[in-house]
Amino acid sequence: MSAEPYTNDDPATRLALFDFAFEHAPIGIALVDLEGRILRGNAAFAKLVGQQMQTVIGTHFRDFTHPDDLEADLILFRQVLAGRREGYTIEKRYVRPMGEIVHVLIHVAAMRDPEGRIVRFISQIEDITKHKEHERELAERTAQVELALEAIRGGFWHMNIASGSFETSDRLAQFIGGPAAARLDLERYLRKINVDDGAQADLTPLIAGQLDQSVAEYRLDTVQGERWMRCDRRLLRDGEGHPIKIVGMAIDFTDERIRMKALEENARTDVLTGVLNRRGLGEEYASLRSADGYSVLALDLDGFKEVNDSYGHPMGDVVLCETANRIRSSVRDEDLVARVGGDEFVVVVAGGATTGKAAAERILAAVRRPIEASGTAASVRTSVGGVWTGARRNIADLMSEADKLLYDAKAAGKDVVKFDCPARQW
* CATH code of 321's domain: 3.30.70.270
195 lies in the same domain as 320? no
80 lies in the same domain as 178? no
In Å, how far are 3, 39, 117 from 88, measured between CA atoms? Answer: 44, 19, 18
Of 220, 253, 286, the position where a domain reaches its end is 253
Asked, for residue 412, whether it belongs to a domain, the answer is yes
Asked, for residue 71, whether it belongs to a domain, the answer is yes
416 lies in the same domain as 331? yes
208 lies in the same domain as 106? no
Name the band, by pLDDT with cuts 50, 70 and 90, for residue 117: very high
Asked, for residue 384, whether it belongs to a domain, the answer is yes
306 has pLDDT over 90:
no
108 lies in the same domain as 181? no
User: Whole-angstrom Cα distance, residue 335 to residue 331?
Assistant: 6
Asked, for residue 411, whether it belongs to a domain, the answer is yes
CA 181 to chain centre: 25
Q: Determine whether 343 is an active site residue.
A: yes
Name the band, by pLDDT with cuts 50, 70 and 90, for residue 150: low
Residue range 54-83, pLDDT digits in tens: 999 999 999 999 999 999 999 999 999 999
User: Whole-angstrom Cα distance, residue 289 to residue 103?
Assistant: 81
Residue 403: enclosing H or E segment and its boundaries?
helix 395-411
276 lies in the same domain as 213? no
153: phi then psi, degrees, rounded to nearest 5? -110, 120
Vertex 99 angle, CA 96 and 101, to 5°: 65
More confident residue, 24 or 422: 24
Domain count, the chain: 3
pTM: 0.43
Q: Among the listed ranges 83-92, 120-129, 371-380, which one has the minimum average pLDDT value?
A: 371-380
Asked, for residue 3, whether it belongs to a domain, the answer is no
pLDDT of residue 1: 46
Domain containing residue 237: 153-253
Residue range 154-205, pLDDT digits in tens: 889 999 999 999 999 999 999 999 999 999 999 999 999 999 998 888 999 9
297 lies in the same domain as 348? yes
86 lies in the same domain as 179? no
User: Whole-angstrom Cα distance, residue 24 to residue 14?
Assistant: 16
315 lies in the same domain as 339? yes
Task: Name every residue whose Cβ is closer than 8 Å to that of residue 202 and which is 6 or more positions away in sequence.
Answer: 309
Asked, for residue 261, whether it belongs to a domain, the answer is no
Of 159, 179, 184, give the one whose Cα is nearest residue 169: 184
CATH code (residue 17): 3.30.450.20
More confident residue, 95 or 307: 95
241 has pLDDT over 70:
yes
Asked, for residue 137, whether it belongs to a domain, the answer is no
Of 221, 253, 285, the position where a domain reaches its end is 253
User: Whole-angstrom Cα distance, residue 381 to residue 399?
Assistant: 20
Asked, for residue 1, whether it belongs to a domain, the answer is no
User: Whole-angstrom Cα distance, residue 55 to residue 349?
Assistant: 94
User: Whole-angstrom Cα distance, residue 417 to residue 394?
Assistant: 22
Of 253, 280, 311, the position where a domain reaches its end is 253
Residue range 261-299, pLDDT digits in tens: 877 667 889 989 999 999 999 999 999 999 999 999 999
279 lies in the same domain as 417? yes
75 lies in the same domain as 189? no
Q: Classify strands 417-420 and 381-389 as parallel, antiparallel or unpaired.
A: parallel
Residue spans of beta strands (DSSP E) within 271-310 = 294-302
243 has pLDDT over 70:
yes
pLDDT of residue 153: 83
pLDDT of residue 106: 96
The catalytically annotated residue of 252, 270, 343, 403 is: 343
319 lies in the same domain as 170? no
